[in-house]
Amino acid sequence: MATAVAQKKYKKIIDWIIWIIGLVIVAGGLVVIGIHLYVKNSLPTIEGDLTVSILDEDVKVTRDGAGVPHIEASNEADLYRAQGYVQAQDRLFQMDLARRQASGTLAEVVGKSAVESDKFFRTFSLRNAAEKSYDGYSEEMKQILNWYAEGVNAFIDEVNGTSKLSYEFKILGYEPEQWTPIDSLTIGKYMAYDLGGNFAVQAFNHWALQNFTKEQVEELVIEYPEDAGTIIQANLENPVQVAGKINADLLPHEFNGSNNWVISGELTENGKPLLANDPHLGLGTPSVWYQMHLQSPEQNVSGVIFPGVPGIILGHNEKIAWGVTNVNPDVQDLYIEKPNPENPTEFKYDGNWEQAEVRQEPIKVKDGKTIDYEVVVTRHGPIISDFIFEEEQPTALFSMQWTALESTQELEAIIGFNKSSNWEEFKAALEDFKAPAQNFVFASTDGTIAYKANGNIPIRKAGDGQFPVPGDSSEYGWEGYIPFDELPTVINPEEGYIATANNKIIGDDYPYHITNYWAPPYRYERIVEMIESIEIGSIDEKTGKEIKGLTVSDMQAMQSDKKNLYAEEFLPHILSTIKKMDTEGKYADIITLLEEWELFDGKDEGAPLVFNLLMTEIQNTLFEGKMPEDVYEMMPGKFQITDQLLRDAYAGNEGVWLSEAGGVDKVVYSSFEKTIEKITAKFGGTVSKWKWGSYNKLTFDHPLASASDFLAPYLNPDKQSVGGSRVTVQAAAEDGEGNVDHGASWRFIVDMYDPSVAYHLVAPGQSGHVKSKWYDNQLSNWVFGRYHKTVINGDIHKSYILNLHGE
């Protein structure tokens, strides 16, 4: 009896617990549904009719199945207004964040965590340079910038104060301010920063001179300038503090680069040129690129642009196509400035004290006090060393001269590209593209293929851009730029193709200095290897058909190629060391794994996991503990330097760094043992189960995800196992933790036989809205090398039509 009563009692308690749990689940479900509906409510309108009062006439916006907007306008004014409006629909938060980061106003909406970033970009003076550049634009281009801003502001006015404002603004608790032409130009200057800097090279080399022997420094500098004794002495006698002064997290990515190539009709199946391009930039959500098609009576152009900027920077029209890679020239110089002890805003120059410009740049901080901040600008450029002295005034500081801080008018070039119909018109437009310097490849329907480097690349009075130079003498500095007509150029070469991959583009007899920090040649060499492997007239072993020339499919396969020519060079040497040192046969199975590897960085292969992590471990073994962490982070060309040390050592010329570490065999073998220990700890000891893709994960993080563990799984697309590495044509550079956050930010192929169609990939997707069908729908396409077609003439497949009406 008592037992029965107890059972009823317990059953009632259990029923109550189940009821409470169910209530919690229901309540939680309702909260999730509520959040979902709240976020979804800010999705932009992409179908139907909308009134946009700024338009003079109606505009048709058709989004295709990939979410690409095709804008048809009857006049130029409405075309650019609609471009601004549509970009803001899909990417307004990204646009606002970009202008704030580049302008140094992030702390105003993010809080004190962004103060350091704001100080950095205020000092780098991107917005100030944008303001100077605006004054140099033609009235026509100023009008385009203003039309575009009108379109962005029409959308801002429409959503501010309503539930249609994108959820990110609500999370941070602010509304976007009005867009201005200077905002667009500032974003352009930021891209010049991301693609065209070498000040960190000089800062590191300056630090190295103070802390290492001459022999050590000579091996750390790509080409040590034997005739630069006066410059070296000036660096030694005037030390500027580097360690602890530069946030390496704010520096451009070491592997910012790209692939591009163009094939003559002589080598293609249909007799017309093919062009391929895949710029390598940071991978994030949303993409750094926004794909669009712009059509008016004056133009019909398609491609990509940075959100916040009008026009199409890379792409094609009905007559021509173009693409870029980064030249990565030396366009930033540091000067050792000597401040006046009596007035720290005066600096010595040719025996006199010169007053520097002092700009007051107060930094507003969300939920905090406004921070007083000064930017001091010498005749050479802004002081980038700390200028607020906590203890005593330093006797030497760095200022920076940079081509992008001058008045430059890249938008003139971009609009010129869009409307060009042949090489001569395109080349004339290119002359206005001053910063960043790029390797442009070109193709046209008339059969022309061409290449030209562009941009302002300085001619120095002394030095070669590897060390800071004295700022107190007129004997140093710039005396102009390499003339446009003397920059490297190739038109219709006999080989029938042109390719660049950030590799060295000049011969030893080229009369001007561009840089010493070219990318390793492996991607370029593999591209050439693949192009030249096509034997026209031979029989394809797979299909049994005659090969009549290269096709779009061939270009797509090339962009996803994962052959590792880096391993082809170094693996035989490394294996010889491992075999020599592994006297007990401890690593026999791993040696077999490496020996049987066919040198492709496939995601299901185990050998790339060992080789790629080993090459990073070798440089860490040599350098990591020899300098402060932040200095090591900013050390330029770690792989090139390490590779050359290994190359020399295996050729019998072992240098001081390897000798002092015990010799090449000891360094390589100890690094190998550390690598295997790390792999085993993470993936187990069964070598046959090791896979590169288990470590190498394609990552597209949202900027808000890093600030919130709660938001991260909601905003970040799922990581994907992926092949490739930093040296393969399918570039996939990981961050040291296996997160592939740098690689092909856009893939593009166009066949000039029918330039009304092109093949694109913009991962993770077109939209910046987490509830959009186009938020991350192209993620798997990145992994598997799939593309979507974009047409500029004819019917648009799977269309969503939005008609914009003026009042």
Q: What is the pLDDT of residues 201-212, one digit of tens each?
A: 999 999 999 999
Domain assignment of residue 45, yes or no: no
Give the lowest-confidence range in 36-40, 338-342, 773-777: 36-40
What is the mean pLDDT of the segment spanning 655-660?
98
* pLDDT at residue 21 tops 80: no
Give the Cβ contact number of residue 389 at 10 Å: 12
Q: What is the mean pLDDT of the chain?
A: 93
| pLDDT tens sequence across 759-768 | 999 999 999 9
The pLDDT assigned to 222 comes to: 82
d(CA 654, CA 173): 59
* pLDDT at residue 5 tops 70: no
The pLDDT assigned to 20 comes to: 52
Do residues 754 and 288 make contact, with C-beta atoms less than 8 angstroms apart? Answer: no
The pLDDT assigned to 547 comes to: 84
d(CA 727, CA 567): 9
Distances (CA, A) of 12 to 1, 3, 6, 7: 17, 14, 10, 9
What is the mean pLDDT of the segment spanning 279-292?
97
* pLDDT at residue 197 tops 90: no
The pLDDT assigned to 16 comes to: 57
Determine which one of 42, 258, 725, 745 is catalytic: 258
d(CA 17, CA 13): 6
Using 50, 70 and 90 to split pLDDT, how confident is the model at 233?
Answer: very high
Using 50, 70 and 90 to split pLDDT, how confident is the model at 10?
Answer: very low
d(CA 184, CA 180): 7
Phi and psi for 313 in degrees, rounded to 5?
Answer: -85, -35
What is the mean pLDDT of the segment spanning 657-676?
98
At residue 547, the 3 state secondary structure works out as coil
The pLDDT assigned to 78 comes to: 98
Compute the Cα dihedral for 466, 471, 473, 474 and give only its sign.
Answer: positive
The pLDDT assigned to 12 comes to: 54
CA 544 to chain centre: 41
What is the mean pLDDT of the segment spanning 570-579?
98
* pLDDT at residue 388 tops 90: no
The pLDDT assigned to 242 comes to: 92
The pLDDT assigned to 617 comes to: 98
**Domain carrying residue 27:** 1-40
What is the mean pLDDT of the segment spanning 557-577?
98
What is the mean pLDDT of the segment spanning 607-612?
98
**H helices, E strands: number in the chain:** 25, 31
Using 50, 70 and 90 to split pLDDT, how confident is the model at 37?
Answer: low
Domain assignment of residue 741, yes or no: no
DSSP 737-768: SSEEEEEES-EEEEETTSTTEEEEE-SS-S--
The pLDDT assigned to 1 comes to: 42
What is the mean pLDDT of the segment spanning 78-87?
98
Give the lowest-confidence range in 11-20, 420-429, 432-441, 475-484: 11-20
| pLDDT tens sequence across 759-800 | 999 999 999 999 999 999 999 999 999 999 999 998 887 789
What is the mean pLDDT of the segment spanning 154-179?
96
* pLDDT at residue 23 tops 80: no
Do residues 449 and 492 make contact, with C-beta atoms less than 8 angstroms apart? Answer: yes
Domain assignment of residue 33, yes or no: yes
Closest CA to 740 of 722, 714, 728: 722
What is the mean pLDDT of the segment spanning 17-37?
49
* pLDDT at residue 261 tops 80: yes
Instruction: Using a pLDDT cut of 90, give the percent of the chain over it.
Output: 86
DSSP 600-639: B--TT-SHHHHHHHHHHHHHHHHHGGGS-HHHHHH-TTHH
CA 787 to chain centre: 21
Give the Cβ contact number of residue 485 at 10 Å: 9
| pTM score above 0.75 | yes
Give the annotated binding-site residues. Answer: 330, 333
DSSP 218-230: HHHSTT--TT-HH
The pLDDT assigned to 38 comes to: 63
Using 50, 70 and 90 to split pLDDT, how confident is the model at 403?
Answer: very high
Domain assignment of residue 735, yes or no: no
* pLDDT at residue 26 tops 80: no
Using 50, 70 and 90 to split pLDDT, how confident is the model at 707?
Answer: confident
Alpha-carbon dihedral 730, 731, 733, 738, rounded to 10 degrees: -10
d(CA 739, CA 49): 43
What is the mean pLDDT of the segment spanning 653-678?
98
The pLDDT assigned to 247 comes to: 82
Give the annotated binding-site residues for Ca(2+). Answer: 330, 333
Please indicate whether residue 117 is annotated as part of the active site: no
Domain count, the chain: 1
Instruction: Using a pLDDT cut of 70, give the percent of the chain over it.
Output: 94
At residue 663, the 3 state secondary structure works out as coil
